[in-house]
């Protein structure tokens, strides 16, 4: 097939990694693949270099940005119309909210192609103003009417979208966001050097969150936990960068917690397996997330995970693989970390269970095979059910 993938920007992030893996494997399997994206602006790093080495065509539309900007958005829409007319793909597959709205409208106007959209995370949620939620839900409902198939990275995304009137049940398929699982199953040779670079005390326990330092990611909850934690062996590690980096560092310094925290800054995808293996516990305190890739990454490395019960987290985290907590529960978060820090046997048991749970569930080859099945199904005129079966 001739397939065009469209995403708003190629920063370091789960949706972006998912898209690049999909494009690369589709190209390797003989499909003609083009990726259209905006510039990778922002402090979160870039994946453009990796995209250009992926074996498929990459087109950058400078006017396609994350922020709402009517004049730029109209320019991006015109560029999408032009490129889709020239490329005439069999399938247009969009990712992320801004690209998903613009690209689906453009694809429908050009015509002659099937339209697929992946929901990595919904743009409307409880921590946002009512008018933004109303606007985004209305835009998503309209875009869904132009869409042949909707892919969710978690069942929770499907349920939330349907509850908001976005699409119909038969349009949805859940396909978990795949990754190169072997890179996380094996302990990289750089692991010990990474741990030593953190300057952790002997027998220290490293508690790591891997995410952008941005709003709703929940780093402030771990800072608050550190203020009341008695166990001096616990060291917190934040992997990533973002607009709240300076604010986070200031809070840590103001509270006298510099000895408790390590901030690594940006790490490339190739460095993440060593960071995960060097850690003892993986946490994810986000309040809004489709399904954080850091959770299965931690499990594949045999680490116990602690997460707030938001969106798709409960589809991988339970009493067998980690600890799931109500959002914003500071005391519960402290108790979970204290318990795991003091109980190596429990850490090992939960980590082993998580590894078995995720080994096949998040395999990237399996993900792309299921995406191909969606393409083939809509090309043949078959409706896809929410469970992925025709």
Q: 181-360 belongs to which homologous superfamily? A: Glycogen Phosphorylase B; (3.40.50.2000)
CA dihedral over 339, 343, 344, 345, signed as positive or negative:
negative
CA distance linking residue 193 with residue 183, whole number of Å = 17
The pLDDT profile of the chain, 390 residues, written as one tens digit per residue, is 999 999 999 988 889 999 999 999 999 999 999 999 999 887 778 899 999 999 999 999 999 998 888 999 999 999 999 999 999 999 999 999 999 999 999 999 999 999 999 999 999 888 889 999 999 999 999 999 999 999 999 999 999 999 999 999 999 999 999 999 999 999 999 999 999 999 998 889 999 999 999 999 999 999 999 999 988 899 999 999 999 999 999 999 999 999 999 999 999 889 999 999 999 999 999 999 999 999 999 999 999 999 999 999 999 999 999 999 999 999 999 999 999 999 999 999 999 999 999 999 999 999 999 999 999 999 998 544 333 333
The DSSP symbol for 240 reads B
C-beta separation of 308 from 274 below 8 A: no
Q: 2-178+363-379 belongs to which homologous superfamily? A: Glycogen Phosphorylase B; (3.40.50.2000)
Domain boundaries, the chain: 2-178+363-379, 181-360
CA distance linking residue 148 with residue 206, whole number of Å = 45
C-beta separation of 285 from 218 below 8 A: yes
Q: Which two tokens stand for residue 100?
A: 């998903």
Q: Which two tokens stand for residue 366?
A: 């399996």
What is the pLDDT at residue 277? 97
Report residue 19: phi and psi, to 5°: -65, -45
Q: Which two tokens stand for residue 221?
A: 């909850």
Q: Using DSSP, how many helices (H) and how many strands (E) does the chain show?
A: 15, 13
* Same-fold call for 2-178+363-379 versus 181-360: yes
The burial class, CB within 10 Å (0-12 / 13-18 / 19+), for 79 is buried
C-beta separation of 293 from 318 below 8 A: no
First to last CA, the chain: 19
C-beta separation of 297 from 274 below 8 A: no
Buried b (16+ CB within 10 A) or exposed e, 8-19: bbbbbbbbbbbb
Q: Residue 183 CA to chain centroid, in angstroms?
A: 17
Closest CA to 351 of 317, 307, 314: 317
Q: Which two tokens stand for residue 251?
A: 């809070």
Global pTM? 0.92
Closest CA to 172 of 190, 185, 159: 159
SS3 content of the chain, % helix, strand, coil (to 5): 45, 20, 35
CA distance linking residue 369 with residue 155, whole number of Å = 19
């Amino acid at each position: 097939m001739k397939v065009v993938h469209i995403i708003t920007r190629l920063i370091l992030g789960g949706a972006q990694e998912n898209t690049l893996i999909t494009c690369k494997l589709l190209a390797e399997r003989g499909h003609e693949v083009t990726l259209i994206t905006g510039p990778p602006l922002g402090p979160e790093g870039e994946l453009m270099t990796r995209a250009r080495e992926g074996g498929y065509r990459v087109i950058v539309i400078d006017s396609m940005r994350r922020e709402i900007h009517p004049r730029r958005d109209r320019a991006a829409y015109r560029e999408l119309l032009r490129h889709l007319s020239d490329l005439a793909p069999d399938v247009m597959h969009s990712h992320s909210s801004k690209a998903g709205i613009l690209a689906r409208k453009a694809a429908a106007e050009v015509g002659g192609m099937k339209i697929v959209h992946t929901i990595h995370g919904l743009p409307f949620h409880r921590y946002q103003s009512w008018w933004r939620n109303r606007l985004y839900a209305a835009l998503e409902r309209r875009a869904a009417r132009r869409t042949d198939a909707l892919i969710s990275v978690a069942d929770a995304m499907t349920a939330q979208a349907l509850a908001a009137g976005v699409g119909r049940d038969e349009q949805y398929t859940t396909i978990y966001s795949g990754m190169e699982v072997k890179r996380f199953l094996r302990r990289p040779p750089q692991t010990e050097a990474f741990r030593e670079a953190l300057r952790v005390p002997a027998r220290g326990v490293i508690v790591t969150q891997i995410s952008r330092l941005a709003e709703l990611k929940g780093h402030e909850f771990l800072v608050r936990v550190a203020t009341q934690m008695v166990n001096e062996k616990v060291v917190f590690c934040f992997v990533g960068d973002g607009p709240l980096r300076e604010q986070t560092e200031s809070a840590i310094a103001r509270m006298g917690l510099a000895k408790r925290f390590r901030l690594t800054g940006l790490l490339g995808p190739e460095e993440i397996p060593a960071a995960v293996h060097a850690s003892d516990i993986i946490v994810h305190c986000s309040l809004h997330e489709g399904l954080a890739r850091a959770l299965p990454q931690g499990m594949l490395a045999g680490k116990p995970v602690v997460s707030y019960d938001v969106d798709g987290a409960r589809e991988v985290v339970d009493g067998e693989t980690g600890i799931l907590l109500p959002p914003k529960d500071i005391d519960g978060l402290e108790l979970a970390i204290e318990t795991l820090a003091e109980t190596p046997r429990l850490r090992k048991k939960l980590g082993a269970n998580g590894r078995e749970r995720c080994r096949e569930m998040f395999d990237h080859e399996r993900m792309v095979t299921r995406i191909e099945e969606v393409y083939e199904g809509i090309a043949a005129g078959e409706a896809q059910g929410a469970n992925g079966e025709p």
